[in-house]
Amino acid sequence: MSSCHLENTPHAKSRTGDKINTLTHMEYITREGKYATMSHREEDLVYTSSGNLPKWAESAREFWNQAEINRRKNGRAYREIRIGLQEELSLAENIACIEEFMDKMGIKDHHVYTYAIHDKTAMFDEDHRNIHAHLMFNEKQADYAITDSPEQFFKRFTVNADGHSVQGLPVDRYWSTEESTRDMRATWEDIVNRAFERNGLEERISMKTLKAQREALLEEGKYEEAELLNRIPAEHLGNAAKNPKTRERIREMMNELEYDQGEAPGELVGDTTSGDNPSNEHTIHDNIQDVVETEFELKLQIFAHDAVIRKLAKEIQKERKALLQAKETNVEKVEDRAVDSSVKAEEKTANIVTVDDILVGLEERMMSSLEKQSALAKQYASEEAKLLTPRETYIATVDAVTNGEYTKHKQAMHDSKMVLKAAERDLKSGLKRVCSYQEFMALTATKEKAREERLRSVRAALACRHEVRMSKELPKQAAIVYEQENAIRDTMKDLQKQIEKENRTYMLYSKKADELLPIPGDTVLFTEAIPREVRKFDKLYGVIPLKDLPSISQNRETEHGKYRDEYIVIDGQIPDRNKPTQVVRAIKVRDAVVDGKAPEYELTITPETSKEGREYFKITSVKETHAQVALHQYRSYKKKDIGDLLHKLKKRMPVKASELPQPSTRRGYRIHAVNSNTKDFISKSVNSIIADGTGGQRQGLWREEDEYKGHVSEMQQVEEK
């Protein structure tokens, strides 16, 4: 997913407002010094380089240390350019882009510089990489004079009456202007887009604001494409996204789909972040303001805005991959040794997702949401039936105290009353028809017996009631019954929230479908080509995630700079620290992938311990085996082979990708027609069941957990962006 981000910042400041130490910043971005063993960070450095150093500086560390020593209190020793790199390009290609950028902007030949490339899994999307560069350079024009010492280099620039330099080097004020930022962004946009074009990729980045891009498309008469950009851009969150609570908040917005963002179709294409601050365009529905409490909350809502459609597109792409693998397997069953050429060609082409694919996926998820709402509504009705009236609650409480005797007495009173009424009716009937004396006496005796039984049952019930009222157990049992009632009501509230959540989810998917309907069904929204290099989120044999396998890293010095090579151990064994030397099979991260396969290496490793006490393995030799390892499922890798490896690693994963149905073509009816019927049905059914709601109040679950356990230094808090 192409990244479009370039930030021009001066010397960074700490929380206290003081400028941070220059050497510390250099060590941080290059993972040197105390940052060499920083938890969860040492693995993200992949390349560093420095250049244009003066003769008196033997290394970049010495130069930046002297820059800090000679810096005035309020002066700045460096300027930093943070650049988002492209995961579609290889590491070498990204390095070439940075080198070309420095050359065109005059940094490479006229300023002392150090830059580092970090590559790690994206924070909110494990299927993508967050690859970026930190470029720091000194603003003094190092080619204006020859200086033999740090003092001469960093002295304040002074000229005589003739305009000739007396001491120091001049500072290029160009870098502090808005013009420099615009020039850098335009230069970077041109460099990256030409790199995409050379590689035959359709991706492009644009540093223009969404408003400017939209106006340009309107002038060209491309109205549909212009409408895709009619939205609010997501602002770069910077340090705020590092806060565990903020990350949890964003994940809630992305995963639970709590609110309808009113997302425009423009969220489906183009860059994910803009090079400029959000514009004042009110393109998202005004009701966003009604569901957020602060400006920062609104910023998080916009940041998570892209997630719904993008997540759905990725699911469709995974389905396509599974179908492709199934097709390849079927071909190999017919021809054991030859793979159908059409399959190979299809494997090399991009995985395309169209508007029709998204609409079908949205429809399926809408129907699933309706089914969930119906099931939850039935469960709600079942719980509601358990609620008791005040009279029923009282009887249940008294029965709990008397072990059910009170209900028995009440029933006896009722029965005796019915018997007495029957006896009175019989006696009255006998008198009307002038019965015999013997029959009259018998009817009278029956009535008196019924009256006595009635009085006995009433006295027993009154005595039981008096006993209950005098008992100390009544308040206790009343509290128990009250708690049971509250538990039922709490369950109903939870069910109501789930129904409301599913309804919001349904309405959101419905809104997305309505927005996509005017767009031609064969419009391509997403493409994903077969990876050109090994990535940590790829899967060994298409089954085992590489990120779950043991990894070993080492630094490698070259004439161009310092590389960090990372190898993934693939032979099923976890390196043993009790062995002085051992050989393992591995593949190399960022190595070239040809036809879905990566080269295999044999590593000779030895256990080591750093000065700080960190245990690691040192690579003493690397040998290429000329074998290749598949990153996708192939028939040559049988289930038994994969099963053995899984057993060795003690992991439970599916051996074969599930065969998912092929997304159908565009339906003959409009989804919004289905929406109108289903929405009315759900609205009536749910509202009839739930008369009194909670108002749909939302409670955020804020988890007090930090992914990076241990001490986080002030430097990390200031620098991590």
Beta-bridged to residue 47, according to DSSP, are 117, 563
Nearest to 319 by CA among 626, 88, 459, 526: 526
Last residue of a domain, one of 158, 189, 206: 206
Q: Quick one: pLDDT at residue 244?
A: 55
Q: Which residue has the tokens 């009456």?
A: 161
Quick check: is 575 in a domain? yes
Could you give the C-alpha distances from 450 to 421, 436, 447, 456, in angstroms and in order?
Answer: 9, 21, 5, 10
Tokens of 529: 């080509």
- Do 94 and 176 share a domain, yes or no? yes
Contact criterion met (CB below 8 Å) for 210 and 235? no
Let me know: does 707 contact 244? Beta carbons within 8 Å: yes
Distance between CA atoms of residues 546 and 538, nearest Å: 6
* 443 touches 426 (CB < 8 A): yes
> Rounded to a whole number, what is the distance in angstroms from the first to the last CA of the chain?
19
Cα Rg of the chain, angstroms: 37
Answer yes or no: do 498 and 567 share one domain: no
**Is residue 12 assigned to a domain?**
yes
**Residues of the chain above pLDDT 70, percent:** 61
Residue 675 resides in a domain: no
| Closest to 259 measured CA to CA, from 235, 236, 285 | 285
pLDDT in tens, 405-449: 888 888 888 999 999 999 999 888 888 887 888 888 998 999 899
pLDDT of 541-584, one tens digit each?
A: 777 888 888 888 888 877 777 788 899 998 877 888 888 999 99
Tell me: pLDDT of 194 over 90: yes
Largest CA distance in the chain: 152
- 636: DSSP letter: T
State whether 19 and 105 are in the same domain.
yes
Compute φ and ψ for 483, nearest 5 degrees. Answer: -65, -40
Q: Can you tell me which residue has the tokens 């809408």?
A: 366
Co-location of 402 and 496 in the same domain: yes
For the chain, how many structural domains are there in total? 3
Do 138 and 174 reside in the same domain of the chain?
yes
Q: Are 498 and 549 members of one domain? A: no
Percentage of the chain lying above the pLDDT 90 cut: 19
pLDDT band at 700 (very low <50, low <70, confident <90, very high): very low
With residue 621 as reference, give the H or E element that holds it: strand 615-630
Domain boundary among 490, 521, 552: 521
| Separation CA 62–CA 120 (nearest Å) | 29
Question: In whole angstroms, what is the distance from residue 511 CA to residue 720 CA?
Answer: 37
What are the distances in angstroms from CA 631 to CA 99, 533, 540, 542, 697?
31, 10, 5, 5, 46
CA 322 from chain centre, in angstroms, equals 23
- pLDDT for position 82: 93
Residue 49 domain flag: yes
Q: Is the torsion defined by CA of 196, 200, 206, 210 positive or negative?
A: negative
Over 70: is that where the pLDDT of 143 sits? no
Query: What is the bridge-based pairing of β-strands 615-630 and 597-609?
Result: antiparallel
* Same domain membership, residue 421 and residue 561: no
Write out pLDDT tens, residues 216-227.
666 666 554 555
H or E element, residue 167: strand 165-167
Instruction: Say if residue 377 is in the same domain as residue 488.
Output: yes
Find the CATH number of the domain harbouring 121.
3.30.930.30
491 in a domain, yes or no? yes
Of the candidates 185, 180, 174, 172, the residue with the CA atom closest to the CA atom of residue 212 = 185
Confidence at residue 398, expressed as pLDDT on a 0 to 100 scale:
80
Q: Are residues 359 and 481 in the same domain?
A: yes
Cα separation, 606 vs 621, in Å, equals: 10
CA-to-CA dists, residue 341 to 337, 346, 356, 637, angstroms: 12, 8, 28, 20
φ, ψ of residue 84 to 5 degrees: the values are -80, 125
Residue 153 pLDDT level (bands cut at 50, 70, 90) = confident
- What does the H/E/C string look like for 308-347? HHHHHHHHHHHHHHHHHHHHHHHHHHHCCCCCCHHHHHHH
In contact, 189 and 196? CB cutoff 8 Å:
no
Domain boundary among 649, 666, 701: 649
Based on the fold, state whether residues 485 and 372 are members of the same structural domain.
Answer: yes
Average pLDDT, the chain: 71
Residue 669 lies in a domain: no
Per-residue pLDDT, 376: 92
Least confident of 191-195, 247-251, 585-589: 247-251
Domain region containing 500: 350-521
pLDDT of residue 352: 54
Q: How would residue 188 be classed by pLDDT, with cut points 50, 70 and 90?
A: very high
Q: Are 665 and 671 in contact (CB under 8 A)?
A: no
Question: Tokens for 616?
Answer: 């690691």
* DSSP string for 214-274: HHHHHHTT-HHHHHHT-SPPPPP-GGGGGSHHHHHHHHHHHHH--S-----GGGGSS-SS-
The DSSP line for 101-160 is HHHHHTHHHHS-EEEEEEEEEETTEEEEEEEEEEEEE--B-TTSS--SSHHHHHSPPEE-
Report pLDDT for 14.
Answer: 80
Within-domain flag for 108:
yes
| pLDDT given at position 495 | 92
Residues 478 and 376 in one domain: yes
CA angle at residue 200 from 196 to 203, to 5 degrees? 45
What is the average pLDDT across 532-539?
82
Rounded Cα gap, residues 504 and 674, in angstroms: 17
Could you tell me if 572 and 423 lie in one domain? no
Kindly state whether residue 123 falls inside one of the protein's structural domains: yes
CATH classification at residue 484: 1.10.287
Whole-number pLDDT of residue 622: 92
611-664 pLDDT, tens digit per residue, is: 878 888 899 999 999 888 877 643 333 334 444 544 444 333 333 323 323 333
Q: Determine whether 290 is exposed, middle or buried from the number of CB atoms within 10 Å of its CB (0-12, 13-18, 19+).
A: exposed
- What is d(CA 274, CA 358) in angstroms, rounded to the nearest whole number? 25
526 forms beta bridges with 353
